[in-house]
Structure formats: structure tokens, C-alpha cells
Amino acid sequence: MSTVPVRFGTFDHLDKSGRSLTSDYEERLALVEGYDQAGFYAFHLAEHHGSPLGLAPSPSVFLAAVAARTKKLRFGPLVYTLPLYQPLRLIQEIGMLDQMSNGRLEIGVGRGIVAFETAFYGLTHLDTPPRFEEALEIIKTGLTSERLNYEGKFWTYRNVPMEIPPIQKPYPPLWYGVGRPDHGAWTAARGMNIVGNGGTAEAKAVFDAYREAGGRADAWMGLSRHLVIAEDQAEAERLAGPAYGQWRASIAKLWRDNGADPIRFPKDFEEAKQRGFAVAGTPEHVAETLATQIGEATANYLLCRFAYGNLPAAAARRSLDLFVERIAPHFPGGLQPA
């Protein structure tokens, strides 16, 4: 069905389901084991603070469990919100995760897209860009040095031994979530892999800008989509509607607490379906829709969101199984089981 080579990965906000937090963590880890067995390329995990959208405000903690429960699956944050970190500590966490997983870490980095969250840490939207740039430079320097020496505006380090280097050289692959075409050129200059935040046309504009700016020819250029798959179209949409609704309420909570709303995110499942953010239906319908979106966007990577909102764990697992059995075969090489 698809004439565009594509690999499949997964993405998770690890948002609250309404079940117990213990269940949320265990159900997600069980699902990640399924991703590993099926041959997905990577598991990407968001970072959010003070919000039901993110039960992994410290991504490294959850990713350490992922490292222990998987064999081949690559994994990483998408993203570490760098302005909130002490860079030296994060360098050491990165080294630990890469060593513990035998070189399977992927590093997503970002400034933090929710101003309400960074404000919890005393930072405004004017504070985060320069802190992000400096933190990223420090992290790259520390991961490629035997001793860290750096003098900056926000952090200074003198002769700090780097005792836990990463296995991957010079450091694990870098990723960035891109919402505007000008960021395509910015990420191209830094050799990053990218995930387009938006619909198909928006993502294509970002990918085109990346290529035109001379970005890496082998870079991953990904789309992220909410997926619910069932044998019956109506059943899939019946599950997807409330699940997306709860996820949308979680992503909007901090805005609504402050009298606003994040209008760039579709307000309900119907709008999400129309704009291509969410796909629900039979395996045949989902395969055809994804093939069209991947081709139109010129993406080479699809990040599947199988678990979100109040979607029952059994329904998320059924979506995964149907994807593996009846959708992936339409995309040769999309999954690569051990």
C-alpha cells in the first residue's frame, strides 16, 4: 500500500487515565514491552509538570524502568525540558541510561512549550530560550569530554570529571519537536531528528525547510498520531471519542485554570479526525489513512499513540495487536522484530 519507506515508533504523554497511578505506570510498562517484542524503533516520552497530562515529570525515572524491561527497543524523552535542569546532573543521567540500556537512548530536547509549567520553576518565556541554548551546549560538551569545563551566563563548571560517558559516540541521537518551518532550518543546522507538531501540511512545510537547509539525509522526520483500531469502525470511534476528550482536557487544564485554552490542539475527536491528528477505525481504514498522511507529509517515521486519555488498557493493547498483525504488513520494514 505504501510506496514511502517508513519506520514505526511510539509516543506517550503518560497522561492520567482516571485509574490509579500505580495502574497507569504498570499498564504503560506492559505496553512498552509489547512495543519491544513487535519491533517498533523507539518509545518517546513527554515531560510535563503540575499537569494531568504528564505522569513522568522526571522522564529518566520512567525510562530507567523501560531500559530494564526491554531488549531492543530504543527510547528517550521527547523532550527533556532543558531550562528546568541542572545540566551537570542531566549529563550524568544520560550517561547512566545509555550505559544501562547498552546504547539505546535517544535524547529529545526542548525549551518547554507550556509557559504555565516553566513558571512553576520561576521562569518566564523570555528566560527559557537562552537557558535552553546554554544547557544544550553544556550537555554536548560534557558528553564528549573527559572533564567538563564551561563558563556561561547561567552555569559554570571547572574541571568536573565525566565518569559515566555514553556508549553512543559522540552522544545519543538528538531530537526536537518542530511546530514552525523556521525551526526546520534550525534543527537542520544542528543535525537533529525532528517530529512535526501538527497536521500533514504543517509537517510537510517543516520537513521541506529541513531538507532545503541541508539537514542530514538520514534524519528521522516524524508524524505523531493518536490511534484506536478495532474490528468495527463504529466501535473504534466510540472508544476514541472520550479517550481523546480526556486527553484534551488534560492538555488544556493549566490553560483553563488561567482563563485560556490551547486552541492549536483540536477541541474534540471530530476536529482531531478532520485535521488528521487522530485516526480511528478498522485496520484497513487506518492503514489507508496513515499511508496517505505519510506520503503527503513526506515523513519517514510515524510515532503511534496507542494509549491516551481514559482508553482502557485492553483497548490499547488490541490496537497494538491489530496494528502489528494487519497494518504493519502494508509498510514493509516498518517494524523490525528481533
Is 105 within a domain?
yes
- CA gap 56, 70 in Å, rounded: 18
- CA gap 310, 243 in Å, rounded: 5
Which residue segment(s) compose the domain that 120 sits in? Answer: 7-330
Express each pLDDT in 34-54 by its tens digit: 999 999 999 999 999 999 999
Residue-averaged pLDDT of the chain: 96
- pTM, two decimals, is 0.97
For the chain, how many structural domains are there in total?
1
Express each pLDDT in 216-240 by its tens digit: 999 999 999 999 999 999 999 999 9
Neighbours of 129 (CB within 10 A): 11
Which residue in this structure is represented by grid cell 512498552?
32
Express each pLDDT in 250-287 by its tens digit: 999 999 999 999 988 999 999 999 999 999 999 999 99
Is 336 within a domain?
no
The answer to whether residues 214 and 188 touch, using CB atoms and an 8 Å cutoff, is yes
Which residue in this structure is represented by grid cell 516524524?
222
The answer to whether residues 49 and 119 touch, using CB atoms and an 8 Å cutoff, is no
Is 320 within a domain?
yes
CATH code of the domain containing 314: 3.20.20.30
Is 219 within a domain?
yes
Is 261 within a domain?
yes
The answer to whether residues 310 and 242 touch, using CB atoms and an 8 Å cutoff, is yes
User: Mean of the pLDDT values across residues 307-315?
Assistant: 98
pLDDT in the model for residue 93: 98
Is 14 within a domain?
yes
Residue 2 has pLDDT above 60, yes or no: no
239: left (phi over 0), alpha (psi -120 to 50) or beta: alpha
pLDDT in the model for residue 338: 78
Burial letters 263-285, b for 16+ CB under 10 A, else e: eebbeebeebbeebbbbbbbbee
Is 94 within a domain?
yes
Express each pLDDT in 132-148 by its tens digit: 999 999 999 999 999 99
Q: How confident is residue 1, by pLDDT bands cut at 50, 70 and 90? A: low
Question: For 233, what's the count of Cα atoms within 13 Å in the CB-facing half-sphere?
Answer: 4
pLDDT in the model for residue 3: 58
